[in-house]
A and B are shown apart, each in its own frame.
Chain A
Amino acid sequence: MTQSTPPAFESTLSSLAPQGRTALLPALHAAQEAFGYISDQVAAQIAQALGVPLAEVFGVIEFYTLFHRQPVGEVLLHICNDAACALAGADTVFKQIAFQTSEASGAGQAPTVRVEKSPCLGLCDHAPAVLVQSLPAKASPAQTWQDLVAATATRPLTYVDGDVRLLTALCGRHITVSLQEYRRNGGYQALQMAFEQAPQSIIETIKQSGLVGRGGAAFPTGLKWESAAQAPGSPKFVVCNADEAEPGAFKDRVLMEDNPHAILEGLLIAAYAIGASKGYIYIRGEYLLPYRVMQAAVQEAQAAGLLGERILGSDFSFEIEIRRGAGAYICGEETALFESIEGKRGFPRLKPPFPTTHGLFGKPTVINNVETLANIPLILRLGVEAYRRLGTPQSPGSKLFCLSGDVNRPGLYELSMGASLRHLIEDLGQGMRHGNDFQAALIGGAAGAFATPQHLDVPLSFEGLRAVGIPLGAGVVTVFDSTRDLRDALFRLARFFAEESCGKCYPCQLGTQRQLEIMERVLEGKPLPTDWERLQDVGWTMSDASICGLGQTAASAILSAMQHWPQLFRPPKELQ
């Protein structure tokens, strides 16, 4: 279990010390890895080395679920607890493994095993998802935990397909594209093209391309860059948001695992365009494999002179640091992510001011999602005109969709914006599993809304979905067939938000808990007659008054379900 010994931890800590507080999460990860948990002595040692008050180090440890104050066992298993994996029997796997391990404990020589339920692990196409020591393992058919440990896969084999293969041109072959291969396929040509232009002209190109953010908020990328480029203050930062944790989402994982250099190239171009000299890639803590792949890619790029001083003979110098999250969905919220990089609890900040003027370390910052950045080299290489031939006038380009749930072929599909949901499910996903009828699809993830059979021909584009009140979000499509009790999925969503609320603002801190309590009754089929109004008040209060996007969307799927299936939320006749 303990790969590194305490002396190794000591040397890691002293090498991190000059960075101060921003190195807090890296130091805590190092301690967790070295000792299997973070004791008060080790926490005090870290506090001392980085100059952070003791109580604040404690506050940070307590915020992130992957940090433990107590020893957790020599083998740590995470089993997904969210909707797509529940459809594939994750609860049974959990019970089985938990039973076996409790039997095994006290049996002398056996290693101590801890099994934890986890929020979505981004392996929805491999449901039910299991991580063994943070690496994916195949859980199906259900086995013993010893089998799981032995079968730890080096990488999940995600099925990748689509009508368009631009972002995913080199993905889905179950290998990581090397720098050499990336370059053979035209990689880093866009960077060369960028260096031959003024930064402002790149920003113009991105603005004209009509690219909007692919992480869920759909903000125009070119405007974001322009605002940061014009903002006074230095240094400026670019950040790649790879904290993919929306239940049902795994697109950024596949892009990182399969084609890491496309993301690095996008980040380099963004940095050049706004005049940033340092970039961060913040990867969720549960994504150990993508973290390792991205680390290796950064090293390749450094060795080839694509990172560092005077890149490709230009005047532009740039370095990238990769950071790991530690189990907090909220850190996908951009300002919470900055706080996390700064070594703090992931509390979202008040906006305004916005990141483009007051971002990471209070400096002008561009933060873009993985998929957004992967679009950048494409736009430069294809040219605006060719790029805009894809998609619709208001939603140009292609989009990655994470299809999971009750379909025959779950996977990652690249579509031209505007294709229909029916096409995605029936043609690409090869239709419903077991020939069952389509009941609903949760679009956009936990923060999304439901599509029903009447929505099957709605175009999957920002404006097409918005017209029917569904957010495209990050491109998550979780499909439920007619045999499924949607109350189970709704309960899981409520639990997800209650577990992931940071607790800063009252509407979300209190509302996610009250919503969960009501959904517990709904799940049991015993809602109180007045629960309907209660759920509406809680939901609208969170949506209207929360600080950040998490709270503002924590009720969206449930409010959408209340519209489509009001009977689920009403007590049965005999109880009324």
Chain B
Amino acid sequence: MTNQTTVHLTIDNLPVHVPAGTTILKAAQQVGIEIPTICYHDYCTANALCRICVVEVKGARLLVPACTATVQENMQVNTRSERVERARRTILEMLYATVDLSEAPEIEAMATAYGVDRQRFPLAEPRHPPLIDDNPMYIRDYAKCVLCWRCVQVCAEDAQYTYAINFKGRGYETQISTFYEVPMPESTCVFCGQCVGVCPTGALKFKRQHLLEVGYSLDEILQMTRSERSGRRRREPRNV
């Protein structure tokens, strides 16, 4: 750590000195500049796929994702240029036309900050698959899923090595799915709950929280989930 080279750059005209290998995102944080992110999570592998964190680097042909791009000597970074703002705003507007973001407070705040028109794309076809309620632990409401990949990642090499979920379809039709869409209890899921923990939009939610929100009392919920669990145990003995 002691011999680490220091890199000098400017971010929004502020001089910054950070160790080589630092990402633009972390370097900006050091001088109090918050670059917005959606897919990024401190404890997940960064894939730079939401592109909300893109910034303009002088001399670069394209915008650069701050969450993975590392600082270079004499780099000049602009985190609020016109191109950057257009990209962030348009991505958010397209996202609003696609999924239900009513339980994504961070994205809501971002949308307000960037002057997003939430109805920018009239007549757009949203993704609205039905809610999946197939186990006593959590529900999956992929109409709220922004495909940040975090759940897939923590289920695999980023944490649990369970590999219960992956992708179905591709492009706009992509959805998170188990093997051949089997119900979660028939998958390799161990119900660790880490996917629920990293979901940024309420697409994955603990069953009790979901039941509370749709109006059941605590007693009713206890009854329901208990009988669901014991019922399951009687009818389908676990044979993993």
Contacts and interface: CB of A to CB of B under 8 A. Distances in A.
Interface of A: 40, 43-44, 53-59, 62-63, 69, 328, 345, 350, 498-507, 509-514, 517, 521, 528, 534, 537-538, 540-541, 544-547, 552
Interface residues of B, number: 49
Contacts of A528: 122
Contacts of A509: 147, 171-172, 174
Contacts of B83: 540, 544
B166 A534 contact: no
Given A57-B179, A501-B171, A517-B121, A506 B166 contact: no
Nearest to B48: A350
A506 B95 contact: yes
Contacts of A44: 179
Nearest to A510: B94
A544 B123 CA distance: 25
Nearest to A64: B170
B90 interface: yes
B48 A507 contact: no
Given A541-B91, A545-B87, A547-B48, 5 more contacts: A506-B94, A514-B94, A537-B93, A540-B90, A545-B54
A500 B173 CA distance: 11
A510 B163 contact: no
Max chain B C-beta neighbours (<10 A), residue from A55, A350, A505, A528: A55
A54 B86 CA distance: 40
A512 B86 contact: no
15 contacts: A53-B188, A54-B179, A54-B187, A55-B164, A55-B177, A503-B147, A503-B171, A511-B94, A521-B123, A534-B120, A540-B86, A540-B90, A544-B63, A545-B62, A545-B91
A345 B171 CA distance: 12
B128 interface: no
Contacts of A552: 62
Nearest to B123: A517
Contacts of B94: 506, 510-511, 514, 538
Contacts of B48: 350, 505, 547
B153 to A, nearest CB: 12
Interface string B185-198: 00110000000000
Given A58-B177, A503-B172, A545-B51, A514 B122 contact: no
A505 B47 CA distance: 9
B123 to A, nearest CB: 7
B168 interface: yes
B51 A345 contact: no
Nearest to B120: A534
A337 to B, nearest CB: 16
Nearest to B99: A510
B178 interface: yes
B38 to A, nearest CB: 8
Contact of B187 (A55, A503, A521): A55
Interface of B: 38, 47-52, 54, 62-63, 65, 68, 83, 86-87, 89-91, 93-95, 97-98, 120-125, 147, 156, 163-174, 177-180, 187-188
A350 B68 contact: yes
Max chain B C-beta neighbours (<10 A), residue from A510, A538, A544, A552: A510
A501 B169 CA distance: 11
A37 B187 CA distance: 22
A500 B171 CA distance: 7
9 residue pairs, one from A and one from B, having the closest CB atoms = A53-B163, A59-B166, A510-B94, A55-B166, A503-B174, A501-B171, A513-B172, A54-B179, A541-B90
A53 B166 CA distance: 10
A55 B179 contact: yes
A69 B48 CA distance: 31
A90 B99 CA distance: 35
A526 to B, nearest CB: 11
A56 B156 CA distance: 10
Given A507-B87, A513-B125, A501 B51 contact: no
B176 to A, nearest CB: 10
Contact of B163 (A54, A69, A345, A547): A54
A545 B63 contact: yes
Nearest to A538: B90
Given A55-B188, A538-B90, A544-B63, A501 B170 contact: yes
B167 A62 contact: yes
Contacts of A63: 167, 170
Contacts of B89: 537
Contact of B91 (A59, A503, A507): A507
B49 A345 contact: no
Given A53-B188, A541-B90, A544-B62, A510 B169 contact: no
Contacts of B125: 513, 517
B179 A541 contact: no
B171 A537 contact: no
Contacts of A62: 167-170, 177
B12 to A, nearest CB: 19
Contacts of B163: 53-56
Contact of A504 (B49, B87, B93): B49
Nearest to A52: B163
A66 to B, nearest CB: 13
Contact of B171 (A55, A512, A540, A547): A512
A69 B122 contact: no
Nearest to A544: B63
A537 B121 contact: no
B91 A58 contact: no
A510 B38 CA distance: 15
A40 B179 contact: yes
Contact of B124 (A350, A505, A507, A517): A517
B166 A537 contact: no
Contacts of A53: 156, 163, 166, 188
A504 B48 CA distance: 9
Nearest to B172: A513
A50 B234 CA distance: 35
A510 B167 contact: no
A40 B98 CA distance: 30
A333 to B, nearest CB: 14
Contact of A58 (B47, B95, B172, B179): B179
